Amino acid sequence: MDLIKQPWSWYVAGPLIGLVVPALLLLGNKMFGISSSLRHVCAACFPANISFFKYDWKQESWNLFFAAGIILGGFLATYLLSVPGPVQINPATTALLQREGVKDFTGLLPQDIFSFQQLFTLRGFIFIVVGGFLVGFGTRYAGGCTSGHAIMGISSLQWPSLVATCCFMIGGFISTWFILPCLIKL
């Protein structure tokens, strides 16, 4: 049980995640991706006269079970396998964030930025609401999320997925080094 509770190295976890792709392809000719699950839920629960939701979502119901398994696995891991204590963050990252005014590192996300109380501040609104909108918009605009493009798309040699993944990475670097320091100071 101690083996499961410890963080796994990238060279163990990465290949395990990567094995999902050939398993899905070999076992059922299915494509890995999570962002399409929201579309399936909307098509199933809110049948409207919108052409985007007019398709046979039942053929993709396996994806809903896959997403539900991820959510269930997250809850089980949190309640049964989590190690008490603060999340271990690289000391250089902690020092950098502390210089920028972030002090509370007790949870998975810094409570100085990501808490319900912070939602009603300009900084919290930008991080939570505007950031969430931009992630959703980018996912729809790119035709999939980071996991779908980076794991499934690149492994199946899709050129648009390589371009999307490079853009995700460039956007992440720009956000981390240039935009995040400005937003933290708000």
> What is the reported pTM?
0.72
Q: What is the mean pLDDT of residues 168-183?
A: 89
Residue 4 has pLDDT above 80, yes or no: no
CA distance between the termini of the chain: 43
Output the pLDDT for position 77.
85
Name the amino acid, one letter, at 141: Y
Q: How confident is the model at residue 36 (pLDDT cuts 50, 70, 90)?
A: confident
- Tens of pLDDT, residue by residue over 49-60, are 888 888 888 888
Q: What is the mean pLDDT of residues 36-60?
A: 82
CA gap 69, 146 in Å, rounded: 19
* Residue 101 confidence (pLDDT): 82
| CA nearest to 147, candidates 81, 68, 67, 75 | 67
* Interatomic CA distance for residues 145 and 119, integer angstroms: 25
Residue 48 has pLDDT above 80, yes or no: no
Query: In this model, does residue 95 exceed pLDDT 80?
Result: yes
